[in-house]
């Protein structure tokens, strides 16, 4: 059977191979094999493989120290954006949304062009496998001054 294998300088191995999950569904098995023996596998269903690959690329950028580096616009703040250099959204001092310690946005009046740009960036991130979903779009629109109507409070 075809597989990919990587051996690090200490002799530990990573083996990636096609396999079948417990229910017979096709998966890709990621198996780590320490040079001392044993091993552990993680079975990734094919529909989640791009998500794993995107996560690996992101981890490689972080390991290499590649960050956006944009300086916070607030006076006396010295932190920089820790998101990947290719990000298409607002700057944050941490990678994970919701964990930032500072609001990097400058107060301004929202425009339709900005709302459409938020939708465009969300669409690109979804297609790139960034793990975004509709709740991220709703959150970003609300933060930019475009809250969506609440279905429960709509009058008919």
Predicted TM-score of the model (pTM): 0.43
What was the pLDDT predicted at 96? 63
Q: List, for residues 45-82, the tens digit of each pLDDT value.
A: 999 998 888 888 777 766 766 677 777 777 777 777 77
With H, G, I as helix, E, B as strand and everything else as coil, classify residue 27.
strand
**Residue 154 above 80 pLDDT?**
no
CA distance 3 to 51: 20
User: Mean pLDDT over all residues of the chain?
Assistant: 79
Q: List, for residues 7-55, the tens digit of each pLDDT value.
A: 999 999 999 999 999 999 999 999 999 988 888 999 999 999 988 888 8
- How deeply is 24 buried, as exposed, middle or buried, from its count of CB atoms within 10 A (0-12, 13-18, 19+)? exposed
Q: Tokens 């475009």: give the residue.
A: 146
DSSP code of 147?
Answer: P
Helix, strand, coil in percent for the chain, rounding step 5: 30, 20, 50
**Residue 93 above 80 pLDDT?**
no
């Amino acid at each position: 059977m075809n597989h990919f294998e990587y051996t690090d300088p200490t002799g530990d191995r990573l083996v990636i191979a096609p396999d079948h999950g417990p229910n017979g569904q096709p998966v890709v098995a990621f198996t780590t094999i320490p040079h001392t023996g044993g091993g552990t596998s993680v079975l990734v269903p094919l529909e989640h493989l791009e998500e794993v690959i995107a996560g690996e690329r992101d981890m490689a950028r972080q390991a290499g120290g590649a960050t956006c580096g944009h300086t916070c616009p607030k006076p006396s703040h010295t932190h920089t954006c820790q998101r990947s250099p290719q990000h298409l959204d607002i700057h944050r001092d941490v990678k994970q949304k919701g964990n930032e310690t500072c609001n990097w946005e400058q107060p301004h009046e929202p425009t339709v062009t900005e709302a459409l740009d938020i939708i465009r960036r969300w669409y690109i991130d979804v297609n790139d496998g960034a793990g975004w979903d509709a709740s991220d779009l709703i959150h970003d629109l609300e933060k930019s001054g475009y809250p969506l109507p609440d279905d429960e409070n709509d009058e008919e």
